[in-house]
A and B are shown apart, each in its own frame.
Chain A
Amino acid sequence: MREITYAQAVREALAEEMRRDERVFLMGEDIGVYGGAFGVTLGLIDEFGPERVMDTPLSEAAIIGAAAGAAVLGMRPVAEVQFSDFLTIGSDQLVNQAAKMRYMFGGKARVPMVVRTPAGSGTGAAAQHSQSLETWFMHIPGLKVVAPATPYDAKGLLKSAIRDDNPVVVFEHKLLYKTKGQVPEEDYTVPIGKAAVRREGIDITVIATSIMVLRSLAAADRLAEEGISVEVIDLRSLRPLDAETIVKSVCKTGRAVVVHEANKFAGFGGEIVGTIVESEAFDYLDAPVVRVAGKDVPIPYNPHLERAAVPQEEDIVAACRSLMRQSPRWRALA
């Protein structure tokens, strides 16, 4: 199968859905001629014109609000928010309008809109352009939240999001845009709400999303050399959450590590841990469930501090090792 980048996969999903359904259109800041801040929509204006690839003023409230309105009136808008940090500006429209309408109109209104947005740190973009805010939106009934880790899922999940009759927030990681992976040319979708077991193992279940899946897999490779067998679950969707896959895996391994880039306090790791300990997996736990998450600080600009503020491969390795190590410390291993 051919390999394309994550950014190309997103672009293909947008183009194919726009060809398939004329109600689909794009809105965002500089997404037309400029192709978007990360080049994701590059060239789409040439095929679909400025009415369907619409450059907007710098107002996230206007972008998301207009998308919600268009969706209620039968269109299927895909809004790009240039940095996920700016979702805070549009969140009244997203949280108080888009997420509520279907409920408040007794099911008579549908809001088939998508908000795509680049998230995460690692680009030296500092505290206001590097956050991971997925937990904010996971908390809102009426919103769906996905965070693909691979080009295949980026395309398949975005297609599912566009075809979904509810507002879906798609978190794309800035560092993933240039990663490559196999993506079919034919039409396919990845279901929202279904996790993927990326690697099977028997000692520890590592649960991650987005770029943390890649780091977890790299960590699992290293741990395998030490005889520690790690199962890696890529959640793909954060809401709805695939609790079944998580619980089944933890019942098998008896140990769980949740990895996310967002800072630990009140991050989604807590929700995953809660899901595990409330389930039948509780009786299979053989160690405390551990979260490996970002430090509780705004993302620093200094590249060394930026790296230190979010989980790296070695942090995941260390957490897994300490879970497996028997307690008494002896000098030979110190």
Chain B
Amino acid sequence: MKTATSRVRGVEHDIVQMPQAGDKAPYYEPQGNEVAIFEAAYKRRLPVMLKGPTGCGKTRFLEYMAFQLKRPLVTVSCHEDLTSSDLVGRFLLEGSETVWHDGPLTRAVKAGAVCYLDEIVEARTDSTVVIHSLTDHRRKLTIEKKGQEIDAHEDFMLVISYNPGYQTVLKDLKPSTKQRFVAINFDFPPEDVERKILLQEVPGTKADIAEKLVAIGRKARLLKDHGLEESTSTRALVYAASMMGAGLDPVAACQVAMVNPITDDIELHDALMEIVQAHFA
């Protein structure tokens, strides 16, 4: 599917990309009032935190919103070794000169983009404090190494995502960071919405297949308390539908897309497969 950030395949392009006329809007199916909330937050340029399980549509939502608001989207996937220079920028040697290179955050601040720090808890807390001054009334980014400050572009907006699973107990965000954000809770969409998503995402999916997949997803999520770290996501349902669309048998498609990836536990695997088989008997 064509989106704003992937116009030309296999060609480098700048991370700051304004949506262009003629781009197709990313597909997103609202679950509730999250669009209105985001628009309101954008109007006041308040930073937003997206909370929710993996694969429920946080990133897609943001792509959609950035497109709707006609802002470029800069995404940074956070990891353990992410330093503040990775966000802000660093000096690099070019020939005999040293040149300052802006990091993605700085680029976004300057260009008035939406900067999206995905899975922010993965980053070390000391590298995430750089966003503090951006997230309150100051809206400033301090570039320590250059001894500079940048007032953020008036359209700049900061968004973080955060998955409150139990594997992040020790890596929780600092309360002082958390309370700077407007938080939108995401969960897997209601059944009718999820069906619509499947039909949209995988054109050619039959209505009854979509219905079964959604029903399987629903049942599979009930097993969360039995040792699944992540429950069956909407994304997994989409994958299963895609695999079926590519000609795979439904049970096999579900197994490879929805069961095998999330568990190594034999009993859980069997229970999940029971659910799949019941629906596709």
> A and B bound?
no
